[in-house]
Structure 1
Amino acid sequence: MKILVFGNSGSGKSTLAQRLVQDHGLAHLDLDSIVWEPGKIAVPRAPEAVSESLQAFLITHKNWVIEGCYGELIEATTNHCTELIFLNPGLEVCLEHNRHRPWEPHKYSSKQAQDEMLQNLQAWVAGYYERQDQWSYHAHRQIFDTFSGHKCERSAG
């Protein structure tokens, strides 16, 4: 079982990934943990380092769940997965989830540091459906629509 979970920030990726880890004993990779410099959110690692970390995870684990919003990494990993899950609950759900996000100690030194980033995060999330970058709805939709394997989209309603 090799599952890719992707979508906007606040779409429920981490919650679903944790449930899959608990239910199926899967190894877990949050792509944030390899994209950003350790302890420095929004400070990107070199692309080569990100690629090496992703490849090392794929080689090391037989069964896994990988979650994130990084379209270029999701797309690069689709040929390794057995299932693709696109979480698309809508903008208001994502914004609300982010407002109530528990402290993520693997990303932030304190809950206060995380809360200080909330306004920037919410502004970025709000642009999801308009942006055309690799972390946008446009990119995610294309990945989902062109994937020929087992897939599902979970949206609001």
Structure 2
Amino acid sequence: MKKIIVFGNSGSGKSTFAKHLATKNQLAHLDLDTLAWSPTKPPTRLPLEVSKQQINAFMNENNAWVIEGCYSDLLALVSEPADTAIFLNLSIEQCIENAKNRPWEPHKYATKAAQDENLSMLIDWIEQYASRTDTFSLVAHQKLHDSFTGEKVLFTENQILT
């Protein structure tokens, strides 16, 4: 059974790529954005233990899966059972272009207009990827990739999905 993690910067195409893999390979799909945040204003990260319980429940319900997100702390929880790690390490420019062209994500925003209102904040976030040292950073993703013991795939360009 396939167990895949997909990670990279915001705008790198994680959700699109993971959805494609899930459909093509009949895998359950988990977007970590759906369980990492509390629904407060402004949103705050849930305690790691709460997210871990939800991730474990997902893995217990599904034998084959793809889990995606930019949360290296959450992905570290699933890296051992995963057999493949896919690091979407696109350029900042590509990530910004993808963010500008992203379709509406109804599981994150009430409307496409609400999503678009966050675009300038998202672009700022994307631009800081290489200089941050948090769980969402290039350094954290590179460490996750380097320490992964299964099959590793690294993409530095947008993927054409067929």
Q: TM over 0.5: same fold?
A: yes
Amino acid across the alignment from 1:123 = D
- Note the C-alpha offset of 1:146: 1.5
Number of the residue aligned with 2:15: 14
Number of the residue aligned with 1:149: 150
- Note the C-alpha offset of 1:80: 1.1
Alignment deviations for residues 31-71 of structure 1 (CA, whole Å, 9 cap, x no partner): 00000125867332233221111111111110000000001
Q: Please list, as runs of the form range in 1=range in 2, the aligned pairs for 1:1-157 lying within 5 A after superposition.
A: 1-38=2-39, 42-156=43-157
What is the TM-score with the length of structure 2 in the denominator? 0.91
- Note the C-alpha offset of 1:16: 0.8
Distance 1:41 1:84 in 2: 31
More displaced stretch, 54-63 vs 32-41 = 32-41
Aligned residues: 157
- Note the C-alpha offset of 1:8: 0.4
Contact 2:30 2:66 in 1 (8 A): yes
RMSD: 1.6
What is the TM-score with the length of structure 1 in the denominator? 0.94
Amino acid across the alignment from 1:120 = M
Gaps of 5+ in 2: none
Distance 1:48 1:40 in 2: 21
Q: SS at the partner of 1:84?
A: strand
Distance 1:94 1:122 in 2: 9
